[in-house]
C-alpha cells in the first residue's frame, strides 16, 4: 500500500487540451532547453505592469514571482520577434504558447502563462497604451480538473494528537495544528498571525491574506483551548526576554518560517503513519471538505478560505459528489 492510500480523493475528470491543441504538445522524449536566465531584459511595458501589480494591487510575493517569471519569458520571446507589446497580434501569442508546449510544459503551466500575458495586455489597454487586446479571443488550454486530496476526520484527529503537550514546542505545535484545521488558513497566513489577532471572547481570528486583504475567521473551542494552553505555558518560554508580535515562535523567539512549519507538519504526518506528503494545503482541503460534508454553504466556505472567486471554492462540491458516489457504491445492495 502506498503512502497516498491513506488519503481520500475522487478521480480526476479528464478534459482535452484546447490551444495550441493536443497534437502540438511535447512528446515524452522532449528534451527541455535551459530556462531563460533571470537577467533576461524586461520590456518597459512589463516593468510598468509589475510595478502596478506590486504597489497598487498589493500582490503577495509568490504571485509577484510567478508574474515576473512568466513575463520574463514573454519579454524574451518578444525580443526574438523584434516586437513591442503594442505590435503583438493573436498569432504571436499562439506561437508563444506553442513554444511553451514544445519546451515540455504541461497544460496547467501554459494556462498560467496565458493568464499572466492576458493581465499584462488588459493593464496596457486600460492605461491607453494599446488600441486592442490581442489575447482577448485566445482560448486557454483545458487542464485536467484534479480533485484535491483530503484527510478523513479520524485521520485529522490522529494528526492533531501527535504533539507532546508537556513541552513548550509541543504546546506550540498543538496550537498551530488545531488552528490550521479550525480555520483552513494558508501556511503563509498561519505563520504571520499576531498574538493580538485572536479574540478569545468572540472566538474569531483576524487574518491577513493574499493581496493584504483582511478577513475574520471563526475559531472552534478545541483550537482556542490549545492556543490558551500555549500562551500560558509555551510562548513565554520561547520568547524569553523578548516581546515579539507573532503568535507562533521558533526556538529562538523569532517568527516561525513557512518552511519550518512544513517540516514540522511533515514530521507529525510521518509519525501518525498517514502519508509522506502531508502539507498545509492538504489540511486546508480537509477543512473545506469536512465543512461541506456537514452542510456548510459554499459562500461561507469561500469567505473563510479567502477565495476571491466562488468558482475556486466550487471544486469542493465535486469532491462531495464523488464521495457520495463512493458511499453509494460501497453500501447500496444493488450498486
DSSP-derived secondary structure letter, 118: H
Which one from 281, 299, 321, 325 is the annotated catalytic residue?
A: 281
Which one from 54, 83, 122, 210 is the annotated catalytic residue?
A: 210
DSSP-derived secondary structure letter, 85: G
Which one from 8, 186, 235, 323 is the annotated catalytic residue?
A: 186
Cell reading at 31: 528534451
Q: Is 290 a catalytic residue?
A: no
Cell reading at 68: 515576473
The CB density around residue 295, as the number of other CB atoms within 10 Å, is 6
Largest CA distance in the chain: 67
Please report the pLDDT score of residue 219 as a whole number: 92
Cell reading at 123: 493593464
Q: What residue ranges define each of the domains in the chain, with the CATH number in brackets?
A: 17-126 (1.10.150), 153-331 (1.10.443.10)
Q: Is 316 a catalytic residue?
A: yes
Q: What is the CA radius of gyration of the chain?
A: 23
Which one from 6, 8, 235, 284 is the annotated catalytic residue?
A: 284
- Give the neighbor-by-neighbor strand order of the sheet with 214-218: 198-199, 204-208, 214-218
- Residue from 32, 25, 16, 29 nearest 98 by CA: 25
Using alpha carbons only, give the angle 128, 40, 117 rounded to the nearest 5 degrees. Answer: 40
DSSP-derived secondary structure letter, 312: H
Q: Is 103 a catalytic residue?
A: no
Cβ pair 191, 261 in contact under 8 A:
yes
Q: Is 285 a catalytic residue?
A: no
Tens-level pLDDT at each residue, the chain (335 residues)? 444 444 555 433 333 334 444 333 333 333 333 344 445 578 899 999 998 888 887 777 778 888 999 999 999 999 999 999 999 999 999 999 999 988 988 888 888 999 999 999 999 999 999 889 999 888 877 765 555 678 888 999 999 999 999 999 999 999 999 999 999 898 989 999 999 999 989 999 998 877 677 888 889 999 999 999 999 999 999 999 888 999 999 999 999 998 999 999 999 999 999 866 788 988 988 888 888 888 887 778 787 887 766 666 666 666 666 655 665 566 556 54
Please report the pLDDT score of residue 312 as a whole number: 63
Amino acid at each position: 500500500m502506498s503512502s497516498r492510500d491513506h488519503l481520500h480523493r475522487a478521480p480526476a475528470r479528464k478534459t482535452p487540451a484546447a490551444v495550441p491543441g493536443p497534437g502540438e504538445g511535447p512528446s515524452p522524449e522532449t528534451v527541455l532547453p535551459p530556462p531563460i536566465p533571470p537577467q533576461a531584459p524586461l520590456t518597459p511595458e512589463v516593468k510598468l505592469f509589475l510595478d502596478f501589480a506590486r504597489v497598487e494591487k498589493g500582490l503577495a510575493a509568490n504571485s509577484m514571482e510567478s508574474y515576473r517569471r512568466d513575463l520574463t519569458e514573454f519579454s524574451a520571446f518578444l525580443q526574438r520577434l523584434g516586437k513591442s507589446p503594442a505590435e503583438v497580434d493573436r498569432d504571436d501569442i499562439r506561437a508563444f504558447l506553442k513554444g511553451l508546449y514544445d519546451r515540455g510544459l504541461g497544460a496547467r503551466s501554459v494556462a498560467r502563462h496565458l493568464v499572466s500575458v492576458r493581465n499584462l495586455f488588459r493593464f496596457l489597454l486600460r492605461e491607453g497604451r494599446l488600441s486592442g487586446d490581442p489575447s482577448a479571443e485566445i482560448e486557454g488550454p483545458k487542464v485536467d480538473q484534479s480533485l484535491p486530496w483530503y484527510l478523513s476526520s479520524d485521520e485529522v484527529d490522529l494528526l492533531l494528537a501527535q504533539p507532546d503537550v508537556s513541552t513548550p514546542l509541543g504546546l506550540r505545535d498543538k496550537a498551530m495544528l488545531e488552528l490550521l484545521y479550525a480555520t483552513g488558513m494558508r501556511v503563509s497566513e498561519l505563520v504571520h498571525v499576531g498574538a493580538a489577532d485572536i479574540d478569545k471572547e468572540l472566538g474569531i481570528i483576524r487574518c491577513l491574506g493574499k493581496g493584504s486583504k483582511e478577513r475574520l475567521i471563526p475559531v472552534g473551542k478545541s483550537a482556542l483551548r490549545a492556543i490558551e494552553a500555549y500562551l500560558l505555558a509555551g510562548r513565554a518560554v520561547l520568547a524569553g526576554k523578548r516581546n515579539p508580535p507573532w503568535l507562533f515562535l521558533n526556538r529562538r523567539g523569532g517568527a516561525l518560517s513557512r518552511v519550518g512549519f512544513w517540516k514540522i507538519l511533515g514530521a507529525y504526518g510521518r509519525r501518525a503513519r498517514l502519508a509522506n506528503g502531508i502539507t498545509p494545503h492538504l489540511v486546508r482541503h480537509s477543512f473545506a471538505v469536512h465543512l461541506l460534508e456537514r452542510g456548510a454553504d459554499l459562500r461561507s466556505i469561500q469567505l473563510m478560505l479567502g477565495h476571491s472567486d466562488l468558482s475556486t471554492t466550487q471544486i469542493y462540491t465535486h469532491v462531495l459528489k464523488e464521495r457520495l458516489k463512493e458511499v453509494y457504491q460501497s453500501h447500496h445492495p444493488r450498486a
